[in-house]
Structure 1
């Protein structure tokens, strides 16, 4: 097993900071001049970044991590030879430039960022480069709202001298029940990095071996410089490589239309003669409290882990957990090909670590939206991966947005932002249920590809 330099890795790779429920994501662009001042800002910030070690269990009162776009690295003096060592997807960006009248960029099509979710309409990171360009992402986590405002103000003062215009501040918040706006418990089924620091005195969950099936993944799937599931290593050039101990960070602002989703659940439940919770569970693959449909809920309630399950032997036909359910698309486990052992290994090559949080207030049936005032709410989605194309983009394009996923003939994922006209398939006997889906419940409001460097690399960049 490879030894990982955890003291050089930013802590968000291993921690979702659940003990720090208030968060802010500060997006800004650099001024084109004053490189020396940018490096001074970076040198000061690098001293305050939160690493994994020395103590991964230490309950800090706040946490700060930093990620940069390709243009952000350029502003800090990273030259073309070093920059070209990064992946094409990172260099091209989530929303490549689009000239009026020209074909939609390939990456926009791959991600399904079309129509209402087109980068043309994004609040940040989109095609209007002058207005939406982003170089820097600061990730801030604290225990309470007052402390968050103070930390935001402090970091805004620090970056003021090098920022071009006012930064965008997006606030996230973990709710006490850990549910997102559609009402599902979130943050389950995270992959575990092989060689991670072990938590002290943590016993395995009842009914499990302590390691979830397919969940322990080679470090190179998430950190550059280490072996991945293909026994390959991304990096290194001779000498110091600024990519080592870093990872790519995908950030997307996804607005959720909760009233429309709830109305859809109600209509489908009435038409099928089922409860809304039954329908919601078939869309996700879990009940709203996080208990999976596989194994059966009755079994799962007898001390079984919420992640200790596979599909091939338990539910190959999707009669318990529909094949097109969100968690089955996002992580097919052992179900994609006839050989379950090989399928499970292949799935491990396409895992991502999710660190997203909801934003906006929860919807209530009697709130002002009933009077036509629509509040903004959704998910600030974050994915960490060493291979954007083979991990995040593959999941998005080939699994979530694919009507032909795993033998299906129609339909996309619950959170797909494609236009209406699709249907959702629920496996049943004697015939499958095909449910027309209206307009998407999710809309992309912004996004970008970032690199989350190792802390030593940031010190090196600041000093060069």
Structure 2
């Protein structure tokens, strides 16, 4: 078991990302040395999770344990201030603004290599507002615990608000877990995480048909089968991608409804039960899973869950009424069915899960050769309030909400960058399925996070595209999918990138023995 690395798999309900700028590098090193003993390692995280599981199994978990934990990551600019030997990774060194934003006017394309609209980024992440040197990630069972840890541990240690601070707060972003671990569109999030040899208990993660365990070097720098050339001090660290994605929930629901012929014919809201069923089927094909998590590849026709209410807080309550004293047992059985990772896709076949679905575009499994080298640990958390029925019915978002996306990988290029830029953003990726999609066009961009250049977006409505709309290949939800489906639908835009940065999360020894040295 690898225990020296900072473990990103922490039990959490609330999480705050505290972005900072180093103002006194030598004093910061001294302060960092004081903090190192409080940073959560893989071993600490494992023990914390085992305590939670043990208490749950024994029936002695009353409420939430009083837990909080802190980790730290640095941008290339922050590491340079600390005098660290630099990485030769141009993607990391250039930063996310260079890698992910689209050039405007006569701007140098080498300085803007992506498709994000610069105007949609929060100003905190833009270089002209000063670089972000690092981020503290503080998690806990309550917002009060998180804020207490920030004040009493992070800010006090680094002298924030005192006479000799070594850093300045740039800004914070906070998230919290939603009911049933869902993201804002309503789907259970965080499923199908890779099993990492040396980090995970392989006996508990056995499955026949799902993703196979991956070597540690896919996630940890210098780990088994990591062939990259990196500084010695970086061993057992991991590159961390942070990215804010705003989610337009009412607009997503409205777009899905606009593609249901039965809803158009009925012309009424709320739609009939049959129309609702088709709406759920279509939106689940967009995602590649049913909302409770069951993969379409195993359950292509019917959602195996007993109840799925439109109101996010209602599911557990109605199931408790339905199952009574058997709630815990039946809930566990339903969860095991829905959260299984024991599946793979039928290659050259989308009659169960469409090639264009979000999870198949971003996680093609055996569809794509050497898929395992592009895996990453995803550790995002939602932010903002739930979308309740009145706002959904209005069709327009009244408040901002979304996902604070976090991923860990030994190579940003192999991990996040490949998934977003090479797979999600391209119509014929991860592999060209034109022939299987009827022969006239490939499957299309990822309908959730796929991007087109900003000038293809509607000037007056940020969730719309100009004609011709980007097309994605989806079968009619009222009919069984044909072997070769040629039906396409035009996309709207439901996820808006609001900025982020690339960081490196060093191991405990990397900080103690190298970054803290003056």
Range of TM-score over shorter length: 0.7 to 0.9
1:327 aligns with 2:359: yes
Length-normalised TM-score, structure 1: 0.83
Cα distance between partner residues in 1 of 2:138 and 2:98: 27
Q: CA deviation at 1:185?
A: 0.5
User: Paired residue for 1:40?
Assistant: 30
Give the Å deviation of 1:227.
2.5
Indicate whether 1:463 and 2:514 are aligned: no
- Computing the radius of gyration from Cα coordinates, the structure with the larger value is 2
User: SS where residue 7 of structure 1 aligns?
Assistant: coil
Give the superposition deviation at 1:101. Answer: 4.2
CA gap 1:107/1:324 in 2 versus in 1, 3 angstroms:
farther
Q: 1:396 to 1:168 in 2, by over 3 A?
A: same
- Kindly tell me: are residues 168 and 368 of structure 1, through their superposed partners in 2, closer, same or farther at Cα, counting changes over 3 Å? farther
In structure 1, the partner of 2:271 is none
Inter-partner Cα distance in structure 2 for 1:399 and 1:62: 36
Deviations 1:269-317 (A, max 9, x none): 245866221111110110011000012357995975621111136xx32
**Mapped partners of 1:250, 1:156: distance in 2:** 23
Partner of 2:79: 73
Q: 2:341 aligns with which of 307, 318, 322?
A: 307
Partner of 1:293: 296
8 Å contact 2:75–2:132 — kept in the other structure?
yes
Secondary structure, counterpart of 1:366 in structure 2:
helix
State the alpha-carbon separation in 1 of the partners of residues 174 and 341 from structure 2: 29
- Deviation per residue, 1:130-153 (Å, 9 max, x gap): 315211111011011221222232
Cα distance, 1:401 vs structure 2: 1.0
Contact 1:123–1:132 (CA under 8 A) maintained in structure 2: no
Q: How far does residue 393 in structure 1 lie from its aligned partner after superposition?
A: 0.8
Kept after mapping to 1: 8 A contact 2:71/2:138: yes
**Counterpart of 2:402?**
378
Q: Give the ranges of 4+ consecutive aligned residues of structure 1 lying more than 4 Å apart after TM superposition.
A: 97-101, 271-274, 297-305, 367-373
CA 1:217/1:157 → structure 2, altered by over 3 Å: closer, same or farther? same
Deviations 1:187-231 (A, max 9, x none): 0010011122528xx756xxxx44663331111111111232xxx
8 Å CA contact 2:445, 2:451 repeated in 1: no
User: Where does residue 8 of structure 1 map in the other structure?
Assistant: 4
Offset of residue 234 of structure 1: 2.8
Aligned residues of 2:211 and 2:341 also touching (Cα < 8 A): no
Q: CA–CA distance in 2 between the matches of 1:270 and 1:432?
A: 17
Change (3 A) 1:369 1:108: farther
Task: Indicate if the aligned counterparts of 2:7 and 2:45 stay in contact, CA closer than 8 A.
Answer: no
Q: SS of the residue aligned with 2:343?
A: coil
Does 1:150 pair with 2:148? Answer: yes
Higher helix share: 2
Superimposed CA distance per residue, residues 329-371 of structure 1 (whole angstroms, 9 cap, x where no aligned partner) = 11111113xxxxxx3xx11011111000000111113259959
Cα distance 1:54–1:193, how it changes in 2: closer, same or farther (>3 A)? same
Aligned length: 420
Per-residue displacement from partner, 1:353-401 (whole Å, max 9, x unpaired)?
1000000111113259959883111000011111111221111112111
Counterpart in 2 of 1:219?
216
The question of 1:192 aligning with 2:182 is answered: no
Judged with a 3 Å threshold, the aligned counterparts in structure 2 of structure 1 residues 246 and 38 are, in CA distance, closer, same or farther, namely: same
Aligned position for 2:380: 356
- Counterpart mapping for 1:6-405 below 5 A: 6-12=2-8, 15=9, 17=10, 19-31=11-23, 34-53=24-43, 56-58=46-48, 59=51, 61-78=67-84, 82-83=85-86, 85-96=87-98, 101-103=105-107, 105-106=109-110, 108-110=112-114, 112-113=115-116, 118-124=117-123, 126=125, 128-131=126-129, 133-154=131-152, 155-159=154-158, 160=160, 161-164=165-168, 166-198=169-201, 209-210=206-207, 213-228=210-225, 232-235=226-229, 241-270=232-261, 275-296=278-299, 306-312=340-346, 316-336=348-368, 343=369, 346-367=370-391, 374-405=398-429
Question: Can you give the 5+ residue segments of structure 1 that lack an aligned partner in the other structure?
Answer: 337-342
For normalisation by structure 2, the TM-score amounts to 0.75
CA RMSD in angstroms comes to: 2.8
Q: CA deviation at 1:431?
A: 4.5
Contact 1:11 1:50 in 2 (8 A): yes
Q: Shift in Å at residue 8 of structure 1?
A: 1.3
The answer as to whether partners of 1:417 and 1:443 remain within 8 angstroms in 2 is: no
Specify the alignment match of 1:340 in structure 2.
none
Structure 1's 203 and 109: CA in aligned 2 closer, same or farther, altered over 3 A? Answer: closer
Unaligned runs of 5+ in 2: 52-65, 264-274, 305-332, 435-440, 458-464, 476-480
Q: By how many angstroms is 1:120 displaced?
A: 4.0
